[in-house]
Chains A and B, each alone.
Chain A
């Protein structure tokens, strides 16, 4: 049982490049989430998917798109990366009212 996995762990992009961050969970959870974490800003929700087939914007969705590929996988895409998107990205999953389980994070630098 791997929990929540994220790939890649590290990535460096040039401004304007695109990339997709992958997330998968093996706990059969309905809900999945993408956060970014910046120094002094806590966790900020980018997008979430309450169930397979649905996605909703969070607090900071601009510049990002998501795809809930199936119940296990939830990807985050940066179409045209900007330096302001330099951050650590966390994926999480959850079943009903209980705790969220987090992945190990992807550290992204945009130059």
Chain B
């Protein structure tokens, strides 16, 4: 069964600092991978996705993620944090053996940005 591990349930960075949120997956075949963002009192919104094209994927709001098969990782980065980036972030993996089964989500990482 596939699984997703997000290291760190809470990450705190200063405004203007690098944001790095970690995601590792386990899968028998290279999967499709997703990052979602959830702002307070809102639903989840897709930030970016990897679907076996370019390994470096750019998303909304200046975020990007790199798929590294050898490390089974899909870490999310942003060069310079903004106060508006404070939110919860979820990594998810798609089972390519069955398109109908749900995405498998990590537990989430709450990002705080300090002024």
A binding-site residues for B, Cβ under 8 Å: 4, 30-31, 33, 40-43, 45, 48, 50-51, 58, 90, 92, 94, 96-105
B binding-site residues for A, Cβ under 8 Å: 9, 32, 34, 36, 42-46, 49, 51, 90, 92, 94, 96, 99-103, 105-108
Q: Cβ of B102 and Cβ of A58 under 8 Å apart? A: yes
Question: What are some 6 contacts across the A-B interface (CB < 8 A)?
Answer: A50-B101, A90-B43, A96-B100, A100-B102, A102-B43, A102-B44
A64 CB to closest chain B CB (Å) equals 15
A84 CB to closest chain B CB (Å) equals 20
A86 CB to closest chain B CB (Å) equals 16
Contacts of A30 in B (CB 8 A): 100
Q: Cβ of A103 and Cβ of B32 under 8 Å apart? A: no
A105 to B90 CA separation, bound complex (whole angstroms): 16
Contacts of B45 in A (CB 8 A): 102
Known: A42-B106, A97-B94, A105-B43. A31 touches B49 (CB 8 A): no
Chain A's closest residue to B108 (CB) is A42
Q: Cβ of A99 and Cβ of B105 under 8 Å apart? A: no
Known: A42-B107, A43-B105, A90-B43. A31 touches B100 (CB 8 A): yes
Chain A's closest residue to B9 (CB) is A40
Chain A's closest residue to B106 (CB) is A42
Q: Which of B44, B99, B107 contacts A90 (CB 8 A)?
A: B44
A105 to B44 CA separation, bound complex (whole angstroms): 9
